[in-house]
A and B are shown apart, each in its own frame.
Chain A
Amino acid sequence: MSAGLPAVAGRRRNADRAARAGLLVLTLVALVPLVLIVFELLSKGLGAWSWTFFTTDPTGRFLGDPGGIRSAIIGSIVMVAIATAIAVPIGIGVALYLVEYGKSSRFADVVRYFVDVMTGVPSVVFGLFVYIVLVVSQIGGTFAGWKGSVALALLMLPVVTRSGEVVLNLVPDGLREAALALGAPRWRVVARIVLPTALPGLTTGSLLAVARAAGETAPLLFTVAFVNGLSLDPSARMNSLPLQIFNDVGQAQDRLVQRAWGAALTLVVLILLVTLLARFIQKRSRLA
Chain B
Amino acid sequence: MTPPYTRPTTSPKDMTELETGGRDPERASVAERTDGAQARVIAPAKGRTIALRDLNAYYGDTHAVRGVSLDYAANQVTAMIGPSGCGKSTLVRCINRMHEEVPGARAEGQVTLDDIDIYGDGVDPTSVRRVVGMVFQKPNPFPTMSIFDNVAAGIRLSGTRGVDLRERVEWALACAGLWDEVRDRLGAPGVGLSGGQQQRLCIARTIAVEPEVILMDEPCSALDPIATLRIEDLIQDLKERYTIVIVTHNMQQAARVADTTAFMLNGELIEHAPTEKIFSQPADTRTEEYVTGKFG
Contacts and interface: CB of A to CB of B under 8 A. Distances in A.
Interface of A: 103-104, 172, 174-175, 177-185, 188-189, 192-193, 196-197, 199, 286
Contacts of B133: 181-182
B159 A188 contact: yes
A284 B232 CA distance: 36
Interface string B184-211: 0000000100000000001001100100
Nearest to B154: A182
B144 A182 contact: no
A183 B143 contact: no
A188 B206 CA distance: 17
A104 B103 contact: yes
B134 interface: yes
B96 interface: yes
7 contacts: A172-B140, A174-B136, A178-B202, A182-B154, A183-B128, A183-B130, A197-B143
The interface centre, meaning the residue of A178, A181, A286 with most chain B CB atoms within 10 A of its CB, is A181
Contact of B158 (A104, A174, A182, A197): A182
Interface in B121-149: 126-130, 133-134, 136, 138, 140, 142-144
Q: Is the interface of A mostly helix, strand, loop or mixed?
A: helix
Contacts of A184: 126, 154, 157-158
Contacts of B140: 172, 174-175, 177-178
B129 A183 contact: yes
Interface of B: 96, 98, 101, 103, 126-130, 133-134, 136, 138, 140, 142-144, 153-154, 156-159, 191, 202, 205-206, 209
Nearest to B206: A182
Contacts of A197: 142-144
Contact of B134 (A175, A181, A185, A199): A181
Nearest to A176: B101
A167 to B, nearest CB: 14
